[in-house]
Amino acid sequence: MQISQPDFKMANTDKKILIVDYKLGNLFSVNQALTNFGLNVKITSDAGELESADALVLPGVGAFGDAMNNLETLKLIHPIIDFVNAGKPFLGICLGLQLLFTESEEFGHTKGLGLIKGSVKRFLNFNKDGDTRKVPQISWNRIYKTDGRSWDNTPLAQIKDGEFMYFVHSFYVVPEEPVGLSQTKYDGQIYTSSILKNNIFACQFHPEKSAFEGLKIYSKWAEMNNLNSSCYL
């Protein structure tokens, strides 16, 4: 029952992690979680800064369409795509996962960044028994290994199969390529709750709000990408 704060070595690193601020959602907690173990984190909306970053974090809560509009207005779409295509570490959280996909069915069809083939769908307001399904899902829920997928050498390496993470969302991703890392079941609907594709790691849940276990994911992601000298002890 007792959860204690992880003991992180403080890092001194010149590696720069940028959190993309596209004026949607709350960046405070993501920033707090990453700086918590001594990473060099900066929040920016400036497209020109992306090129010099060592890693990029795309968070976000809110509507897909608004997010794409804001990214476009801030001229961030191509710099983000270029950054990912350059093979540098990218972390997407919640809406930051969904935006990677080809399109969302929110309000008809809205095009996404197109870095992962697939779509974003809304939870139905009823389950297979015809009962009301509460949407958004605002809940802790379990993440399980996607069929046959090992978590070794991934940001989930230190997480046990079936661990609880915190979710807040009405939409979920449906990848059309084998990128699923974890899956989750919400009121009968099984969906992909995190993906890993080369340098892209993204999750539907919020590690920064998932207590000790969530912080371990950020720590591992940073360690795997040599963004810090800190490691979870």
Q: Which residues are catalytic?
A: 94, 206, 208
Query: Which residues, in sequence order, are bridge partners of residue 55?
Result: 17
List the alpha helices (DSSP H) in 56-199. 64-73, 77-85, 95-98
Using rule CB under 8 A, residue 120 touches other proteins = no
Return the range that interacts with other proteins (CB under 8 A); candidates 61-69, 72-80, 81-89, 106-114: 61-69
In the bound state with other proteins, the residue whose beta carbon lies nearer, of 81 and 135, is: 135
- Interhelix angle 64-73/77-85, rounded to 10 degrees, is 90
Using rule CB under 8 A, residue 107 touches other proteins = no
Using rule CB under 8 A, residue 26 touches other proteins = yes
Using rule CB under 8 A, residue 72 touches other proteins = no
- ω into 6 cis (within 30 of 0): no
- How far from chain centre, in Å, is Cα 196? 10
Torsions phi, psi for 91 (to 5 deg): -125, 120
In the bound state with other proteins, the residue whose beta carbon lies nearer, of 59 and 175, is: 59
Q: Of these, 12, 73, 132, 198, which contacts other proteins (CB under 8 A)?
A: 132
Tell me the pairing of strands 171-175 and 116-122.
antiparallel
Residues interacting with other proteins, by CB under 8 A?
Answer: 1-5, 24-26, 28-29, 32-33, 36, 61-63, 125, 132-136, 138-142, 164, 166, 168-170, 186-187, 206, 208-212, 214-215
